[in-house]
Structure 1
Amino acid sequence: MADDTQNIQELTLEDVMGERFGRYSKSIIQDRALPDIRDGLKPVQRRILYAMNKDGNTFDKAFRKSAKSVGNVMGNYHPHGDSSIYEAMVRMSQDWKLRAPLIEMHGNNGSIDADPPAAMRYTEARLSKISGTMLQDIDKETVDFVPNFDDTEEEPTVLPARFPNLLVNGASGISAGYATEIPPHNLNELIDALIYLLAHPKASTDDLMEFVKGPDFPTGGIIQGLDGIKKAYNTGAGRIVLRSKTAFKPLKGGKQEIEITEIPYEVNKALLVKKMDEIRIMKKVEGIVEVRDESDRQGLTIAVELKADADAQGILNYLLKNTDLQITYNFNMVAIHNMRPERVGLKTALQAYIDFQREVITKRTQYDLNKAKKRQHIVDGLIKALSILDEVIQTIRGSKNRKDAKQNLMDKYDFTDPQAEAIVTLQLYRLTNTDVTELRREHAELDAQIEKLEDILANDASLRKVMRTQMQDVKKQFGSPRLTQIEDQIEELKVDRTVMVADETVVLMVSHDGYIKRSSPRSYQASSENDNGLKEEDYPILLKPVSTLDHLFMFTSKGNLIYRPIHEVTDARWKDTGEHISQSIGLADDEELIAAFTFSSLEEPGNFVIATAHGLIKQTAFMDLLPGRTYKKRASVFEKFKQPDDQVVDITYVDSSDPLTVMLMSRNGLGLRYDLAEVPTNGARTSGAKSMDLRGDDIVVNMQLVKDSDDAIIVTQRGALKKMAISEVPVTSRARKGVLCLRELKANPHEIVAFIAVAHDSVAPVEVVTSRGIRHDILPAEHERNARYSNGSFVIDIDTEGVPTSLRHKEQTLILN
């Protein structure tokens, strides 16, 4: 017991965990998840191939139950679950995963739809023909062997690998701290590059890329991005785009379909078809009639049938962008190199393979040389024995037994032990005259063979020649044309919104309180004019028929701009309230919508003219107010205030060259007018220039863009309405005080609450709203023009109806075609 207690060590948890996890990591990095740079195999794959080869389960023999091979591998070399061994075996037989499958399998070995394979008791397997070259010469001491897990057998640490399997078949795996993603390549190209590298050891990656154009996936497809391939081949990491091979096929009735014949590597076809069909069902794209998987024994085909008037290229672009019809493939070429994981480029991988092949050929040559020399030594002995045959026979007959006969031959005639052994085992029928000539011929052949083998060992040029010949034989026997097409540039996928959204006319409404909705013209016409779902005090600031492809810009008094594509506005019945803007974008309590505009594109040439209460004005180009990626969640800024209590009083869009003037009115009754050209154009996050010289606590009530022939409609806090010719206010310049547009009164003077401009011949009503929510419709045509120093006429009794708060153009009932 005392001895046991002395073995107890006090260690920190960090030390124990670090040491144990380090050992575990080393184990899974080296012995499970990452391939060896020399033969491109993970341990489980190597063990399967070696066990099947040792068992005689090769391409030239009959198929054998997979379960037998799996049991053999598990019992002798790989003491892990049978399912993991069988899965590795199945993957090596799948021609849509491997460019050169290493196992042939009869029965269901899975599918590109990720169907599971049949159980191993049903399937049969054997090594493929190319697999034979992976194991060729393994019995000639070409690779190191180590004891298996229970020391009853020996297994190879690497296979001789006559072809560069790491790059031909690629690899993927995840271990502790390392992952690998090596794509498959074309055998012909790799061998051409290897032969070039053999002759030019200082070749650059660019030189090698003259031969290895890029990955060559078993599923074909189109690679885009030469820069990504070049980066990956230089550093081991890079990104390319891999897209499906597609074509447009005409159908009857003017229809057409998108025919997909190759899909990206390791994409699940069934899920891809399902995703494309969901896009059709959810109507994310207009124009898809049906998505069919028409794959059969002849090959893969997916048909996407389109409507007669559908934009085929637009729909294809949408599918490429939103499904696995196009994927991004990331190279991460990590392999075990010199016993440790390393991210390698193309040259390193090819050079490591050449170095390994040099080692294999050297060991094989040495083995063959030793064997030839041994045989020649025995042939020498047999020739000598035949020349003194009678004496040899006499000596043997005079010996007591086999051992004595051997000894006597060695003592009397100077035969060596192996020669004496060969003589005593010689069969009598060989003692004919012809055998001497046969032996002499064999001796000459052995001489030539030994000379050749010694030349290979002594001369690097001869060794390189052997390697080149071997590679060319493999290329001739197993080479195949490239399947994957390579394009230099990554094509940017632009999806036209007309593909995703049907072009329909809808009635759009934006209310002052922030409610927005779109309704079908039918729903609008079926409802009465005032039955618009709004609260009594709310009113529309925009009501018009628009296309679902149009764009909506909404501007708030606090300088925020909210953008919505019309097709994203809530579709509601005309009687419903619709969606409040705060459901997606938070607004301040005292913030209100002051204007809304719709546009047919996001490339308009015009400017917005923006004025604030504290006397700032600017123009901002439409192109400076384009929506960002986060438009759904947050508003963008179109006006920056210098004073926190400032607010936007008006915003107008101008896209014509008509000679317009800016007219401002202040609360104290001052009017100022100047050319629009005097207003500077600034960016979105700016305040602008001074619009009017305000005195004391005066503020700008409103800004309007006017023509000389227009009228100004003014409402005061005492309930008076005044109509005045715009021309009464002379055109001067920006930032002046302006001229008085009211008659001064000593007691209870009038203050302007609101002002708007109307065309002189306008017959449309304007609406005055009071502090008690009472609305008055007033027809400007019924009022005479007043002089500039007049206070107009009283239209509202402020004692009974409340003080006027706003004045606006009354919206007209829409007449829809």
Structure 2
Amino acid sequence: MNTEGERVLPINIVDEMKSSYIDYSMSVIVSRALPDVRDGLKPVHRRVLYGMYGLNVFSNRKHLKSARIVGDVLGKYHPHGDSSVYDAMVRMAQPWSLRYPQVDGQGNFGSMDGDPPAAMRYTEARLKKISDEILADLDKDTVDFQNNFDDSLTEPSVLPTRIPNLLVNGASGIAVGMATNMAPHNLSEVVDGICAYIDNREITIDELMKHVIAPDFPTGGIIYGYDGVRDAFHTGRGRIVLRAKVNFEEVHNRNAIIVTEIPYQVNKAEMIIRTSELVKEEKIPGIYEIRDESDRRGMRIVYELKNDAIPNVVLNLLYKYTALQTSFSVNNIALVQGRPEQLNLKDIIHHFVDHRHEVIVRRTQHELKKAQERAHILEGFMRVIATQDSLDKAIAIIRNSASPADAKEGLIQEFDLSDIQAQAILDLRLARLTGMELDKIRAEYDEIMSLIKDLEDILANESRRFEIIKQEMLEVKEKYGDERRTDIDYAGGDMSIEDFIPNETVVVTISHAGYIKRTSLSEYRIQSRGGVGNKAATTRDEDFLEYIVSATNHQYMLFFTEKGKCYWLRVFEIPEGSRTAKGRAIQNLINIEADDKVKAYIRTNDLKDEEYVNQMNVVMITKNGTVKKTSLEAYSRPRTNGINAIEIRDNDQLLGARLTDGSSEIMIATRNGKCIRFPEEKARAVGRGSIGVRGISLEDNDEVIGMIIVNDVASESVLVVSEKGYGKRSAVEDYRITNRGGKGVITLNITEKTGNLIAIQNVQDGDGLMIINKSGVAIRMGVDELRVMGRNTQGVKLINLKGNDEIAAIAKVEMDKEVEDEDEHTDEELPGAVLSDQVEFSNAPQTGDNAISNMGDEKYLKKIEEDEQKEQKAIEDAQDEEETDE
């Protein structure tokens, strides 16, 4: 029953729900969850900063109780719960939440372990210095003000920030029907991007990305792959994979994974608890103990491993199952003129620059207005007190007036003043009437007029306004800019990274024990043949440098192990080492088995180039003489755990691998001084799953020590080196072309004095030669110092060996005249590397059981014995007699 005067209006419930829900959703979108593209702040953050501004809690003032600040913000601007304000303020003070915190908190403001902050009655806060830049010029009519919730006060609708806050601190929020998740970035990079945009408004996003490289998270870590970053910058949406920053150490005689930085927004304590559960469930085997050794000096989480665990394998499992690897889904949605929009990198910078331009214009107009008002008053002063007569007349008017209003009216009529000028004259203190003060008034007037002219020029000249924006941005960068915290692992994605990593020549060295590093130094000295040599890179006890390869950062490295597996790395993924660094164990870089060993490498160009990988071949040789040729395309997609490159049978192992173009010649040398030469076409290309074919037939007690690929018979010669320091150059033509599978001919007259053959290499006169022995001593010399001689000779001494030392490896290098040796007897320690675009390697064979021929029938063994007798006779007669083929 209706009371008198009331009416009931029938309303469709569907229409009412629709209308109410739209009102609610728009309120959440516009007034709660999404940041403004101009200052990058949500209403609650803006109100916290403005509330602290009103309380004068600046960075140079003492801290104020958080409860006092929260109460002020609640009572004046933010009609919601106190926890909403305090939680927002706490996050603004946490250095692990904001890349550039805006509030300086004193007390317990929480931790990365998820510990809650103390109650607001216990903590205190004040503004950070950087917040002064966010609030700068707020009193100069730079932004619009709006009524607060009860129309009793006004608050700014946006802050006139000099900090590109939306980019440098990011934002996250869940609205109705949409959400935002914006990543933080480095202030220095963002400022550089803004300046580049101001210089060229037509700049592309790719060009901006040369300045704003990637997000920069407050907790550091590593961005794994670049595709997500590129998508986020181009479209406003992208998935960025984040990894913890780790290193490997030995702790309590165990290998340990040490985590020093974790991904953004990961709860450290929860991550450790979850990891412990996975270890108990045996989803992550190999972990002995987990400890959190973090303190005020920094984070340190220790994953101590079991003795038989491979660190890199355990680390990959941690990345797979735990929060050591997470993803950050970028969704750049912000309010543009009150409407939510998806924004790319250029859009955000464009709107920020437009906002700064508007602030500069309004600030200049405000300052011009103030200057003109002051000039107007000074003009009145000049008119009244410029001369003694006028001053006396003004004083007389004032003294003879009955009231201030009469005095003002008299001054206005006598001197043709405005009301403001006349009031200023009446308010003038007598002290300002002295001669000195009059001079100050004239000087101030001249200064004000100059300022007015400058301000009018700023308003009339757009280029000046943008130059002011740029200059203020550079000042911000100078004050608050810092280095990146988050590293970028470009290899984690498919994007080409040539624009991001300089394509410098580096040298990769691998020691016998499997320690690898890269360096760009070139201090190897060039010495004469027979010199003593310089100390090479320091290695571990009983270790020596075994592989040396020069490459560029953009190239690829394929690693082949003695068990016949292939692994893949980009050159820049190999850790850089100093002059004396031992390098990183290769097991920590690739998932090689514990009892396997890298025996060969191939340096290639872009493996994604289909024409290139289909044109090139990989030729492999084993200790027992098996040759296998396969298209490089079969090795262009290696997996993390490696792929099978060749099947290795018992008592055999992979010795080497080379890249060929299909028209080369193959030469294989054995330990007993034999060598065979045959065209590459004789070894047909087979699939990756095939075993291969016989390249050379071995005698009993012999094994293959190396293989070379000859591309230019006329200019190349064959260099062979024995383990006791003897070497010899001979012409390729001296080795007649035979069919694959023969026993070969003599390449070096093996005696007790020379020792067994350990290396074969193809060289030219322009090449350099580096020899490294097992004690780490290296010598560098020119190949042209070695004359070409007959192949069935003993050769000449290449390096003087001390005691029982033996040669470990030889490498072909280009001679670099800029690093010629000035002192042949220096004891300076040099890195085990050389700068060269063409370094090929021949390694010393492993000691152990002699190779056993796979063709062991009696007829074959008898034939080997007969051939051996013939060869011995030829050596004794010092004749250069060729062997017959099988």
- 3-state secondary structure, aligned to 1:223: strand
After superposition, the C-alpha distances for 1:771-809 in whole angstroms (9 at most, x for unaligned) are xxxxxxxxxxxxxxxxxxxxxxxxxxxxxxxxxxxxxxx
- 3-state secondary structure, aligned to 1:258: strand
- The 1:416/1:246 distance shift into structure 2, 3 A limit, reads same
Counterpart for residue 352 of structure 1: 351
Deviation, 1:12, is 2.0
Counterpart for residue 29 of structure 2: 29
Counterpart for residue 305 of structure 1: 304
Residue 215 of structure 1 pairs with residue 215 of structure 2: yes
- The 1:4/1:125 distance shift into structure 2, 3 A limit, reads farther
Residue 227 of structure 1 pairs with residue 243 of structure 2: no
Q: 2 CA distance for matches of 1:310 and 1:20?
A: 61
Deviation, 1:371, is 0.1
Counterpart for residue 791 of structure 1: none
Residue 107 of structure 1 pairs with residue 139 of structure 2: no
Counterpart for residue 471 of structure 1: 473
Q: 2 CA distance for matches of 1:404 and 1:162?
A: 49
Deviation, 1:604, is 14
Q: 1 CA distance for matches of 2:114 and 2:449?
A: 58
User: Pick from 478, 485, 488: which aligns with 1:486?
Assistant: 488
Q: 1 CA distance for matches of 2:306 and 2:646?
A: 35
Q: Which amino acid aligns with 2:359?
A: V
Q: 2 CA distance for matches of 1:95 and 1:274?
A: 23
Cα pair 2:241 2:328 within 8 Å, conserved: yes
Cα pair 1:332 1:343 within 8 Å, conserved: yes
RMSD (CA atoms): 2.2
Q: Which amino acid aligns with 2:150?
A: D
Counterpart for residue 403 of structure 1: 405
Counterpart for residue 733 of structure 2: none
After superposition, the C-alpha distances for 1:672-713 in whole angstroms (9 at most, x for unaligned) are xxxxxxxxxxxxxxxxxxxxxxxxxxxxxxxxxxxxxxxxxx
Q: 2 CA distance for matches of 1:77 and 1:603?
A: 68
Cα pair 1:232 1:239 within 8 Å, conserved: yes
After superposition, the C-alpha distances for 1:709-754 in whole angstroms (9 at most, x for unaligned) are xxxxxxxxxxxxxxxxxxxxxxxxxxxxxxxxxxxxxxxxxxxxxx
- The 1:235/1:6 distance shift into structure 2, 3 A limit, reads farther
After superposition, the C-alpha distances for 1:105-158 in whole angstroms (9 at most, x for unaligned) are 000001111110000000000010000110011111100001111111100000
After superposition, the C-alpha distances for 1:314-368 in whole angstroms (9 at most, x for unaligned) are 0000000000000111100110112111111000000000001111110000000
Counterpart for residue 761 of structure 2: none
- 3-state secondary structure, aligned to 1:138: coil
Residue 314 of structure 1 pairs with residue 313 of structure 2: yes
Cα pair 2:197 2:203 within 8 Å, conserved: yes
Deviation, 1:282, is 2.6
Cα pair 2:146 2:156 within 8 Å, conserved: yes
Counterpart for residue 362 of structure 2: 363
Structure 1: give runs of 5+ residues left out of the alignment: 493-600, 607-654, 657-817
Counterpart for residue 393 of structure 1: 395
Counterpart for residue 61 of structure 2: 61
Residue 432 of structure 1 pairs with residue 431 of structure 2: no
- The 1:311/1:352 distance shift into structure 2, 3 A limit, reads same
- 3-state secondary structure, aligned to 1:341: strand
Counterpart for residue 142 of structure 1: 142
- The 1:336/1:405 distance shift into structure 2, 3 A limit, reads same
Cα pair 2:106 2:125 within 8 Å, conserved: yes
Cα pair 1:280 1:290 within 8 Å, conserved: no
- 3-state secondary structure, aligned to 2:210: coil
Moved more, 26-35 or 385-394: 385-394
Q: 1 CA distance for matches of 2:285 and 2:152?
A: 67
Q: Which amino acid aligns with 2:365?
A: Q
Counterpart for residue 286 of structure 1: 285
- The 1:393/1:491 distance shift into structure 2, 3 A limit, reads closer
Moved more, 270-279 or 187-196: 270-279
Cα pair 2:226 2:493 within 8 Å, conserved: no
Deviation, 1:225, is 2.3
Cα pair 2:44 2:85 within 8 Å, conserved: yes
Deviation, 1:301, is 1.0
Q: 1 CA distance for matches of 2:38 and 2:63?
A: 29
Q: Report 1:166-245 matches (<5 A).
A: 166-245=166-245
Larger-gyration structure (1/2): 1
User: Pick from 453, 456, 459: which aligns with 2:458?
Assistant: 456
Counterpart for residue 378 of structure 1: 377
Counterpart for residue 419 of structure 2: 417
Deviation, 1:240, is 1.5
After superposition, the C-alpha distances for 1:22-78 in whole angstroms (9 at most, x for unaligned) are 000000000001100000100000001001001101111000000000000000000
Deviation, 1:251, is 2.7
- The 1:473/1:4 distance shift into structure 2, 3 A limit, reads farther
Counterpart for residue 246 of structure 2: 246
Q: 2 CA distance for matches of 1:358 and 1:430?
A: 40
Counterpart for residue 609 of structure 1: none
Cα pair 2:458 2:465 within 8 Å, conserved: yes
Deviation, 1:3, is 10
Q: 2 CA distance for matches of 1:602 and 1:464?
A: 57
Deviation, 1:603, is 8.7
Q: Which amino acid aligns with 1:448?
A: S
Deviation, 1:279, is 2.3
Per the normalisation by structure 2, the TM-score is 0.55
Counterpart for residue 125 of structure 2: 125
Counterpart for residue 624 of structure 1: none
* Sequence identity percentage: 46
Cα pair 1:456 1:462 within 8 Å, conserved: yes
Q: Report 1:548-587 matches (<5 A).
A: none
Q: Report 1:504-583 matches (<5 A).
A: none
Q: 1 CA distance for matches of 2:399 and 2:296?
A: 73
Q: Which amino acid aligns with 1:458?
A: A
Cα pair 2:58 2:132 within 8 Å, conserved: yes
- 3-state secondary structure, aligned to 1:92: helix
- 3-state secondary structure, aligned to 1:274: helix
Counterpart for residue 633 of structure 1: none
Q: Which amino acid aligns with 2:426?
A: V
Deviation, 1:286, is 2.6
Q: How many residues align?
A: 500
Q: 1 CA distance for matches of 2:49 and 2:285?
A: 52
Cα pair 1:222 1:242 within 8 Å, conserved: yes
Q: 1 CA distance for matches of 2:424 and 2:460?
A: 31
Q: 2 CA distance for matches of 1:16 and 1:68?
A: 41
Q: Which amino acid aligns with 1:52?
A: M
Deviation, 1:370, is 0.1
Counterpart for residue 574 of structure 1: none
Q: 2 CA distance for matches of 1:602 and 1:208?
A: 39
Deviation, 1:288, is 1.0
After superposition, the C-alpha distances for 1:267-308 in whole angstroms (9 at most, x for unaligned) are 000011111222222332332111011110011110101122
Q: Report 1:612-623 matches (<5 A).
A: none
Moved more, 48-57 or 273-282: 273-282
Q: 2 CA distance for matches of 1:138 and 1:292?
A: 49
Q: 1 CA distance for matches of 2:209 and 2:7?
A: 60
Counterpart for residue 666 of structure 1: none
Counterpart for residue 43 of structure 2: 43
Cα pair 1:163 1:474 within 8 Å, conserved: yes
After superposition, the C-alpha distances for 1:389-427 in whole angstroms (9 at most, x for unaligned) are 111101100111111111100011111111111110111
After superposition, the C-alpha distances for 1:554-582 in whole angstroms (9 at most, x for unaligned) are xxxxxxxxxxxxxxxxxxxxxxxxxxxxx
Residue 332 of structure 1 pairs with residue 331 of structure 2: yes
Q: 1 CA distance for matches of 2:64 and 2:259?
A: 37
Cα pair 2:397 2:411 within 8 Å, conserved: yes
Q: 1 CA distance for matches of 2:50 and 2:167?
A: 20
Q: Which amino acid aligns with 1:263?
A: I
Q: Which amino acid aligns with 1:309?
A: D
Per the normalisation by structure 1, the TM-score is 0.60
After superposition, the C-alpha distances for 1:373-397 in whole angstroms (9 at most, x for unaligned) are 0001111111222121111101100
Moved more, 63-72 or 387-396: 387-396
- 3-state secondary structure, aligned to 1:139: coil
